[in-house]
Amino acid sequence: MKKTFAEKSVGKTFLRMITVMTVTSTLFTACNQKTEVKETEKVLSKLPPVAKVPQIDDENVPTDKRVIYLTFDDGPNRGTENLLKILHKRNISATAFLVGKHATDSKKQKENLEIMRTDRLIELANHSYTHAHNKYSDFYKNPEAVVNDFNIAKDSLKLPGKIARTPGRNIWRLNNINVTDIKSSTEAANRLKTAGYKVIGWDLEWKPTNKMTLKGNHEAMLKKVDSIFFNDLEKTSRHLVLLTHDQYLNDSDSINELDLFIEKLQKSNRFVFRKVSAYPKINEMLN
């Protein structure tokens, strides 16, 4: 099928447009380590208003548009409030894959969960209760325990649906997509699907540095987005799921880079943002 967006001429034009864009934002200032958190809060509280960007909620996306699903794992956590402020500044939707245990780790995390519950721009989904205690190989050896862990998270977080993401694994279990990155996790993934969970992974990850801040800059990430669409590397054509973590949004540089990333995508007028629940075929009954 002939593509209207990812032709070489369009791809090059998009890359060229990103390259020549001048970063004019002065929203964030440099901070030293001792004042980083306070300075970040100060910057976010004084962000100037921007024009609201209309959401496109139609079932069919125009052929000249691509859909970005921003997803943030492991919340509620450090950086959750900063994430919400960025989403509201840009008026875009995202999905938070929550860890059940994190919602009770502190009073602040409990408060953030309640804030997210009523926020129209954020959708809550299941990322397990224990996050495998970060011992992933052992966790997936017991498929029944994996399903039980997700059930506990669903109940404790009072999640309305069964959209899920597996900890430490890029696994997909939808009607039309069946992908397991590490094969030893296959049986556990299949059991989640049998239990009715719609397991969604990601197409692109914005990874952290050793200091748990966003690695690289927004321009590099924009090029990766364009490359995925240009080379048809997304799981579903014209739909890209991006993964990062809200705990990486605890310093002014990371906040600035995510904000610029979203701003440039919006200004290109080639992308729309949606929650994962709008991903193609995700709401169909699982076989």
Domain ranges of the chain: 8-15+64-278
Q: In this predicted structure, what is the pLDDT of residue 125?
A: 98
Count of C-beta atoms within a 10 Å radius of residue 153: 24
User: Per residue in 228-240, pLDDT tens?
Assistant: 999 999 999 999 9
Q: 8-15+64-278 is classed in which CATH architecture?
A: Alpha-Beta Barrel (3.20)
Q: In this predicted structure, what is the pLDDT of residue 283?
A: 86
Q: Which residues of the chain have pLDDT under 50?
A: 1-38, 40, 43, 46-58
State the first-to-last Cα distance of the chain, in angstroms, to the nearest integer: 28
Q: pTM here?
A: 0.81
Q: In this predicted structure, what is the pLDDT of residue 287?
A: 60
Instruction: State the Rg of the chain over Cα.
Output: 19
DSSP state of 282: T
Q: In this predicted structure, what is the pLDDT of residue 105?
A: 93
Closest CA to 215 of 263, 168, 251, 165: 251
Helix or strand holding residue 266 (H, E): helix 252-268
Q: In this predicted structure, what is the pLDDT of residue 63?
A: 86
Q: In this predicted structure, what is the pLDDT of residue 59?
A: 55
